[in-house]
Amino acid sequence: MSARYVRNIFAVAILTATAALPAAAQETTLRMVSAFPENGIYYKQIERWVQKVNAEGKGVLQINLIGGPKAIPTFEVGNAVRTGVVDLAMSTGAYYTNLFPEADALKMTESPPAEMRKNGAFDLINRIWNQKGSLQYIARFVDYTPFHLYLNKKIDKPDLTGMKIRITPVYRDFFQSLNATLVTTPPGEVYTALERGVVDGYGWPLIGIFDLGWQEKTKYRLEPGFYAIELGVMFSAATWKKLTPQQREFLEKQGAWLESLNVEMASKDAPAEIKRQQDAGIQVVKLDPAQSKILVKTAYDAAWDAIVKASPQHGPKLREMLAPK
Ligand code: 173
C-alpha cells in the first residue's frame, strides 16, 4: 500500500466519521473581541483566559481572540455581539448601554458572582440581557475593586462645579449630580483629552491608569472610591444556543475559573497599584468621613435612580436583587 493511499484512506475515514457523528464531536471556533485596549491589564487577563480555553478545549471549542478597539471600537462591541458579527466579547455594562440601560447596573452588585448564581440574580440578568440585547452573560470578573475620580485640581468636598471630567456611562449620573461638565470618551482617548487640557480629570478603576500612560497627566486620586468594577464575558445569544450542552458546560467551567481570579486581583493587585500610584507622585485626596459618606451615597442613589427611571420594567427588581438592603 502506498503512503499516499494510506493518507487518502485516513482522510476519507476522518471525513466520514465527522459527518456521521452528532455536532457534539465537532470543534467549533468562535470569534471574540475585547472592548478594552490591547495594551491594557484587562486585555492581558482575557488573553490568559483564551489561552487556557484553547489548551483545554481541543476537540471541543476554540476561541479566536481577534483584538481590541482597533478591531471594533469600544462602544460598538455590544452591538457587534448582539448582531453576531462576533460570537463573544469581553466588555463592561457601561460600554453597551446603547443596547439597554440596565447594562450599567452591574457596577452596583454587592455580592460575589457565585452568590448571584445561587440567589437568582444571574438568572434575572440573563433574562434581561437575552430579551433586550440578545446576549448571554457567562462570567463576571475583576470585581471587589472600586472606581475612582482622578483629578488635576484639588477638591475638599464632593462638588465638581466648573470642572470638565471624562466619563463613560459608569460615572454619568453621579458626576452630573456633582455638577461636573461631562465629556464621554473610550479609554483610548483619555490620554489625548488630558494632554490637551480638554478635561480636568477622569473616572477610572483603581487599576489600569499606567497602561496608557495617564500617570504622567494625573495629580490626584480621590478617596473614597465607589461601585465595583465589572468586566463580563458575554456571548451572542444565537451563538450560545447553537453550542452543544458539552460546549456550554465547558465554557461555564472556564468562566468560573476566570471569576476565581477576582479575589487575587483585589487582595494582591489592588495594594500594589496603590503603591505604584504613590511612587509615581499621584497624591491621595481623602475626603473626611462625613463627606465620604455623602459621596458614596450620592454615587449609588444617582445611578440607581437613573436605571429605575430608564427601565421602570426591570430597574426596581434589579435594585432589589443586586443591592439587597
Ligand atoms: O472606561 C471606563 O472608565 C469604564 O467605564 C470602565 C468600566 C469598567 C472597567 C474599566 C473601565
Could you read off the pLDDT of 210-232 as tens digits, one per residue?
A: 999 999 999 999 999 999 999 99
Mean of all residue pLDDT scores within the chain: 91
Look-up of cell digits 476522518: 14
Asked if omega into 316 is within 30° of 0 (cis), the reply is no
Q: Let me know how long the chain is.
A: 325
The C-alpha atoms of residue 238 and residue 136 are separated, in whole angstroms, by: 9
Helix (H, G, I), strand (E, B) or coil at 107: helix
Phi/psi for 47 (5° steps) reads -60, -45
pLDDT attached to residue 140: 93
- List Cβ neighbours of 245 (8 Å cut-off, separation of 6 or more): 24
Alpha carbon of residue 204 to chain centroid? 12
| pLDDT score recorded for residue 89 | 98
Residue 88 burial class via C-beta count within 10 angstroms: exposed 0-12, middle 13-18, buried 19 and up: buried
Quick one: cell of 251? 465554557
Kindly give the distance from the C-alpha atom of residue 92 to the centroid of ligand 1, in angstroms, as a whole number.
Answer: 7
Contact (CB, 8 A) for 243 and 88: no
Rounded mean pLDDT, 164-179: 98
Residue 258 has pLDDT above 80, yes or no: yes
Instruction: Provide the pLDDT for residue 25.
Output: 59
pLDDT number for residue 165? 98
**pTM over 0.85, yes/no:** yes
* Cα 21 to Cα 122: distance, rounded to the nearest angstrom: 34
Euclidean distance between CA atoms 164 and 150, whole angstroms? 12
Q: What is the pLDDT of residue 113?
A: 87
pLDDT band for position 118 (50/70/90)? very high
Strands 201-205, 147-151: pairing kind: antiparallel
Q: What is the predicted pLDDT for the residue at 325?
A: 62
Task: Determine the pLDDT at residue 324.
Answer: 67
All three cell numbers of 28, joined, read 467549533
Q: How far apart are CA 145 and CA 237, in angstroms?
A: 29
What pLDDT, in 10s, does the model give residues 277-307? 999 999 999 999 999 999 999 999 999 999 9
Phi, psi (deg, nearest 5) at residue 22: -65, 165
Closest residue by Cα to atom 7, ligand 1, is: 92
Atom 9, ligand 1: which residue's CA is nearest? Answer: 229
Weakest-pLDDT range from 26-30, 188-192, 311-315? 26-30
Give the pLDDT score at 124. 97
Ligand 1 centroid, distance to 69 Cα (angstroms) = 14
pLDDT above 80 for 18: no
Give me the percent of the chain exceeding a pLDDT of 70.
92
pLDDT of the residue at 146: 94
User: So what's the pLDDT on residue 4?
Assistant: 45
User: Distance from the CA of 204 to the center of ligand 1, in angstroms?
Assistant: 6
Cα–Cα distance for residue pair 152/36, rounded to 1 Å: 24
- 33-64 pLDDT per residue, tens: 999 999 999 999 999 999 999 999 999 999 99
Q: DSSP assignment, residue 226?
A: B
Q: Which residues line ligand 1 (CB under 6 A)?
A: 92, 94, 168, 170, 187, 203-205, 229, 231
DSSP string of 55-78? HH-TTTEEEEEEESTTTS-GGGHH
Dihedral sign for Cα atoms in the order 235, 323, 265, 223: positive
pLDDT at 176 over 80: yes
Looking from the CA of residue 169, the nearest atom of ligand 1 is: 5
Question: Grid coordinates representing 220?
Answer: 490626584
Residue 32 main-chain phi, psi, to 5 deg: -130, 145
**135 pLDDT above the threshold of 60:** yes
Distance 244 CA to ligand 1 centre (A): 33
Nearest CA to ligand 1 atom 11: 204
Cβ(229)–Cβ(205) under 8 Å?
yes
pLDDT over 90 for what percent of the chain? 82
Assigned C-alpha cell, 117: 448564581
